[in-house]
């Protein structure tokens, strides 16, 4: 069965919202399992996309480890005399962060199983203007461009004789902030060029667009939508009662 | 300064090597012109020299030291590199800062370097654009700025990747004079160029081919 993009969008929104509002590691684990299961059911090829997200994943791991080491509280697990290195509270904190980010990533992967064409159609059906729907789908395509802009500039800096590996942390941060600005403005300039190129190919030349293929929600979609809303709502309510909401 | 490439092999994937057993030596005080068909790996070869990419086999030696032991930053102390698309090597908010910020970061911005920056701006005709946003300059201006960021430091070897693609006649004249001056003062230059008109402006360059000749 081919799932309607609108159903997938709803799943993405529900899962990532739950991930952001839940605070308890047990609930987060449950949401994580559900997100993984949804991906498995929809047939996203997770193994194939993981290597492409190496950088993002390593940042998440880095932050989680940093949090486990810096947040103190609960029972000390690893310590020398009075100095606590790892505590239960720190571990929980780091684990929650890692889980939360993983859920957000997993749920955005749901979108990968849909072509950008279908995604645009789905958004239009939800009464979102074509231009905006188009922009959303283009944004996804621009993430790699942005990454390239950044790594190119990093290389350019090394070519001016900087050794980033040797730089102190403070200096490194300063350098990264220096690189972020042109990467952003570079991406904006590039997207403006893209917009000009699209306009020159006749985008928006005619008013209302019609579509050859029409998306219709099938009964299975209605079933999934109702199930998703009910489960997400029920789960949120349950967590609220248990006091595990943000 | 001497850059030697011995039996260099490189491929982006294991199946078909792009550069196969390339040998040559670049010396100071000379100008080299590298030619080859589109996509034959010229840009890739220059990235190997700067160690932005690492050769699968063979060795690259700069002044008798294998670059395996050097970092990109160390190599760049002596080798300047102009990107095919110079826009990618600009990042500061203004033209002037583009030249000054490496010194600021290294805390070596002295009266002397200030003077040198002003001089370089003048040399590359950028004084009037001092406060402009680098990414919105024209193609030729971006290239001059990128060159200025290279020449504001003391380099011994210069690599130019298809430098004449985005500049007009006047720009080509300026660039060829810059190269001639640099070579005369003892620097070495490697130019990648297809542009016969531009190559004709160079002073007796040594021609090199990558891949089979056209
Ligand atoms: N990062 C990369 N990954 C894979 N293939 C690449 C990469 N960069 C360049 N190539 C390919 O390698 C070949 C040589 O590229 P390049 O060195 O830029 O050629 P040119 O001689 O025109 O400068 C081209 O076919 C190009 O598609
Ligand atoms: Mg090239």
What single string gives the DSSP state of each residue in A93-149? HHHHHHHHHHHHHHHHHGGGGS-HHHHHHHHHHTT--HHHHHHHHHHHHHHHHHHHH
Q: Would you say residue A119 has pLDDT above 80?
A: no
Nearest CA to ligand 1 atom 3: B12
Are B153 and A160 an interchain contact pair (Cβ–Cβ within 8 Å)?
yes
Phi-psi bin for B154: left (phi > 0), alpha (psi -120 to 50), beta?
beta
The CA–CA distances, whole Å, from A18 to A12, A126, A130, A232 equal 10, 22, 28, 7
Tens digit of each residue's pLDDT (9 = 90 or more) over B160-172: 999 998 888 889 9
Q: Would you say residue A48 has pLDDT above 70?
A: yes
Are A182 and B135 an interchain contact pair (Cβ–Cβ within 8 Å)?
yes
How far is B21 from B59, CA to CA, in rounded Å?
A: 10
> Stretch A103-131: mean pLDDT, rounded?
78
Q: Would you say residue A120 has pLDDT above 80?
A: no
Of the candidates A153, A159, A164, the beta carbon closest to that of B91 is on: A153
A148, closest residue in chain B (CA to CA): B88
> How many angstroms does the Cα of residue B19 sit away from the middle of ligand 1?
11
> Stretch A185-196: mean pLDDT, rounded?
73
pLDDT at A246: 66
Tens digit of each residue's pLDDT (9 = 90 or more) over A140-179: 666 677 777 778 888 888 888 877 777 777 777 777 777 7
Query: Looking at the complex, does the CB of residue A182 fall below 8 Å from at least one CB of chain B?
Result: yes
pLDDT at B22: 93
Interface test with B, best of A154, A158, A175 (most B CBs within 10 A): A158
Query: Looking at the complex, does the CB of residue A175 fall below 8 Å from at least one CB of chain B?
Result: yes
pLDDT at A218: 82
Bridge partners, B212 (sequence order): none
Protein residues with CB under 6 Å of any ligand 1 atom: B 12, 18, 36, 38-44
pLDDT at B213: 61
Output phi, psi for B12, to 5 deg: -75, -25
pLDDT at B179: 96
- Which A residues, 186 through 225, put their C-beta within 8 Å of a C-beta on chain B? 186, 189
For residue B213, give how far its alpha carbon lies from the nearest alpha carbon of chain A (Å): 31
Which ligand does the CA of B34 lie closest to? Answer: 1
Q: Would you say residue A22 has pLDDT above 80?
A: yes
Provide, as residue numbers in chain A, all residues whose Cβ is less than 8 Å from the Cβ of B87. Answer: 186
Size of interface A-B (CB pairs under 8 A): 63
Provide, as residue numbers in chain A, all residues whose Cβ is less than 8 Å from the Cβ of B80. Answer: 159
How far is B175 from B183, CA to CA, in rounded Å?
A: 12
> Stretch A203-231: mean pLDDT, rounded?
78
Question: Residue B17: enclosing H or E segment and its boundaries?
Answer: none
> How many angstroms does the Cα of residue B137 sit away from the middle of ligand 2?
22
Low-confidence ranges of chain B (pLDDT < 50): none
Question: Residue B56: enclosing H or E segment and its boundaries?
Answer: none
> Stretch A30-49: mean pLDDT, rounded?
86
pLDDT at B142: 93
Report the atom number in ligand 1 closest to the C-alpha of B84.
23
Query: Looking at the complex, does the CB of residue A156 fall below 8 Å from at least one CB of chain B?
Result: yes
Report the atom number in ligand 1 closest to the C-alpha of B192.
23
ipTM score here? 0.72
Tens digit of each residue's pLDDT (9 = 90 or more) over A86-113: 788 888 888 888 999 899 888 888 877 7
Task: Say which residue the tokens 């306009």 belong to.
Answer: A199
pTM of the model: 0.67
pLDDT at A41: 86
pLDDT at B11: 93
Model confidence band, residue A205 (pLDDT cutoffs 50, 70, 90): low
């Amino acid at each position: 069965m081919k799932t309607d993009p609108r159903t997938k969008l709803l799943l993405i929104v529900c899962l990532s919202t739950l991930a952001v509002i839940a605070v308890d590691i047990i609930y987060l684990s449950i949401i994580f399992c559900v997100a993984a299961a949804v991906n498995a059911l929809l047939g996203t090829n997770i193994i194939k996309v993981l290597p492409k997200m190496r950088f993002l994943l390593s940042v998440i791991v880095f932050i989680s480890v940093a949090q486990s080491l810096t947040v103190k509280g609960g029972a000390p697990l690893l310590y020398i005399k009075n100095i606590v290195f790892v505590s239960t509270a720190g571990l929980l904190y780091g684990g929650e962060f890692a889980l939360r980010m993983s859920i957000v990533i997993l749920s955005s992967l749901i979108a990968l199983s849909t072509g950008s064409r279908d995604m645009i159609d789905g958004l239009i059906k939800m009464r979102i203007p074509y231009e905006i729907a188009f922009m959303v789908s283009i944004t996804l395509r621009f993430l790699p461009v942005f990454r390239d802009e950044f790594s190119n500039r990093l290389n350019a800096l090394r070519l001016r004789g900087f050794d980033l590996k040797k730089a102190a942390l403070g200096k490194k941060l300063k350098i990264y902030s220096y690189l972020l600005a042109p990467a952003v403005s570079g991406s904006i300039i590039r997207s403006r060029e893209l917009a000009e190129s699209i306009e020159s190919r006749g985008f928006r030349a005619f008013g209302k667009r019609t579509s050859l293929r029409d998306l219709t929600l099938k009964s299975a979609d209605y079933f999934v939508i109702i199930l998703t809303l009910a489960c997400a709502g029920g789960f949120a309510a349950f967590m609220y009662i248990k006091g595990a909401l943000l | 300064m001497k850059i030697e490439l011995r039996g260099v092999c490189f491929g982006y994937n294991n199946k078909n090597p792009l550069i196969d057993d390339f040998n040559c030596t670049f010396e100071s005080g000379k100008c080299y012109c590298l030619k080859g068909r589109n996509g034959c790996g010229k840009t890739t070869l220059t990235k190997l020299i700067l160690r932005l990419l690492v050769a699968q086999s063979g060795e690259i030696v700069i002044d008798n030291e294998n670059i395996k032991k050097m970092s990109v930053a160390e190599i760049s102390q002596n080798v300047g590199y102009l990107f095919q698309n110079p826009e990618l090597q600009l990042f500061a908010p203004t033209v002037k800062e583009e030249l000054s910020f490496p010194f600021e970061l290294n805390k070596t911005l002295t009266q002397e370097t200030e003077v040198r920056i002003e001089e370089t701006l003048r040399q590359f005709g950028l004084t009037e654009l001092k406060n402009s946003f680098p990414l919105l300059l024209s193609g030729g201006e971006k290239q001059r700025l990128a060159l200025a960021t290279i020449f504001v430091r003391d380099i011994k070897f210069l690599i130019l990747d298809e430098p004449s693609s985005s500049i007009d006649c006047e720009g080509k004249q300026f660039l060829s004079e810059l190269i001639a001056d640099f070579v005369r003062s003892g620097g070495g230059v490697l130019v990648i160029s297809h542009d016969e008109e531009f190559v004709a402006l160079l002073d007796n360059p040594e021609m090199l081919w990558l891949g089979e000749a056209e």
